[in-house]
Amino acid sequence: MFMLSLESAIANDALVRVIDAFVDAIDLKSFGFSHVECCEEGRPPFHPGVLMKLYLYGYHYGIRTSRKLEREAQTNIEAMWLVSGVTPKYKTIADFRKNHSKAFREVFRKFVFLLKEWALIEGETIAIDSFKIRGQNSLKNNFNDKKIERHLAYIDQKIADYEAVLDTSDKEEERLETQAKIQQQKQKQDNYKAVRKTLKESGEEQISLTDPDAKAVILHRNIVNVGYNIQASVDAKNKLLVEYDTGDVNDTHALYPMAQASKDLLKVEHLNTIADKGYHTGKQIQQCIANNITTHISPRETPSQEEGVFPVSYFTYDSQRDSYTCPAGSILRTNGVWYRHSENRKGQKPRSHRFQRYLTTDV
Supply the pLDDT for residue 234.
95
What pLDDT score was predicted for residue 336?
72
pLDDT single digits (tens) 175-223: 889 899 999 999 999 999 999 999 999 888 889 888 888 888 877 667 8
Is the pLDDT reported for residue 41 higher than 80?
A: no
Q: Angle at CA 258, nearest 5°, toward 233 and 95? A: 80
- Among candidates 250, 256, 259, 253, which has minimal Cα distance to 286? 256
Q: Is pLDDT at 32 greater than 80 in this prediction?
A: yes
Give yes or no for a contact between 57 and 19, defined as CB atoms under 8 angstroms apart: yes
Better-predicted residue by pLDDT, 153 or 29: 153
At residue 75, does pLDDT exceed 90?
A: yes
Q: Please say if the pLDDT value at position 262 is more than 80.
A: yes
What is the C-alpha separation between 234 and 297, in angstroms, rounded?
15
Q: Does 118 have pLDDT greater than 60?
A: yes
Could you tell me how far CA 288 lies from the centroid of its own chain?
Answer: 22
Concatenating the DSSP letter of every residue in 91-154 gives HHHHHHHHHTHHHHHHHHHHHHHHHHHTTSS--SEEEEEEEEEE-SS-GGGEEEHHHHHHHHHH
Q: What's the pLDDT band for 363 if we cut at 50, 70, 90?
A: very low
3-state secondary structure of 21: helix
Rounded to an integer, the average pLDDT of 136-149 is 89
Contact 98, 136 (CB under 8 A): no
User: Which of 84, 93, 102 has its CA nearest to residue 32?
Assistant: 102
Q: 125: exposed, middle or buried (C-beta count within 10 Å: 0-12, 13-18, 19+)?
A: middle
Instruction: Find the range with the poorest average confidence among 102-111, 113-122, 246-255, 268-277.
Output: 246-255
Per-residue confidence (pLDDT) for residue 129, from 0 to 100: 93
pTM for the structure as a whole: 0.68
Q: Cα dihedral sign for 261, 263, 265, 269?
A: negative
* Percentage of the residues of the chain whose pLDDT score is greater than 90: 43
Predicted confidence (pLDDT) per residue in 326-362, tens digit: 888 888 887 777 655 554 444 444 333 333 444 544 4
